Amino acid sequence: MDERKVRLNELAQGLRPLAEGIEWFEGLAADERFEVLRDLGGFCVQARATLEDGPESVRLAGIRPTHTPAVLITRGQQLSAQLTKIINLPQDERVKAFRLLVALLGVADGRRREQLCAAGCTHAWHQLGREAAPVDSS
């Protein structure tokens, strides 16, 4: 898993502070920001995000329900169409979109962990932040 994917998954899982992620995102060039949003959108689909995850994601993202990305995620008909709109928002909306998509990934992936991966899995992104088990030397 490349560095960007690790960072995004760590942000979604709360292993990195969101403020750190926002600072990193703001430091990227415009085309890289688009790529990050596109990656996040794909991760959300892979994690089986739903439009019903929207309100909780807006709350966790710390954006107002009236911000454009929040309206798009809570009032759409089809998640993939709404994600496409969010990813393609103008530059001045991209930090809010980033916050929202990180939160959406966190909500959807959290549910996926509980429902499908509770007994363990081989998803590399679910192994992040795990400490190596201590070796018993006795």
Model's pTM, two decimal places? 0.84
The confidence score (pLDDT) of residue 29 equals 97
Greater pLDDT, 137 or 57: 57
Q: Report yes or no: 5 and 13 within 8 Å, Cβ to Cβ.
A: no
The confidence score (pLDDT) of residue 82 equals 96
pLDDT-based confidence at residue 2 (cuts at 50, 70, 90): confident
**Residue 93 scores a pLDDT above 60:** yes
What is the C-alpha separation between 34 and 41, in angstroms, rounded?
A: 10
The confidence score (pLDDT) of residue 84 equals 96
Burial class (CB in 10 A: 0-12, 13-18, 19+), 9: buried
The confidence score (pLDDT) of residue 103 equals 97
Greater pLDDT, 136 or 69: 69
Convert the pLDDT of each residue in 16-50 to its tens digit.
999 999 999 999 999 999 999 999 999 999 999 99
pLDDT-based confidence at residue 76 (cuts at 50, 70, 90): confident
**Residue 132 scores a pLDDT above 50:** no
CB contact burial 96-127 (16+ within 10 A = b; e otherwise): bbbbbbbbbbbbbbbebbeeeeeeeeebebbe
Amino acid identity, position 119: A
Q: Report yes or no: 12 and 128 within 8 Å, Cβ to Cβ.
A: no
The confidence score (pLDDT) of residue 24 equals 97
pLDDT-based confidence at residue 118 (cuts at 50, 70, 90): low
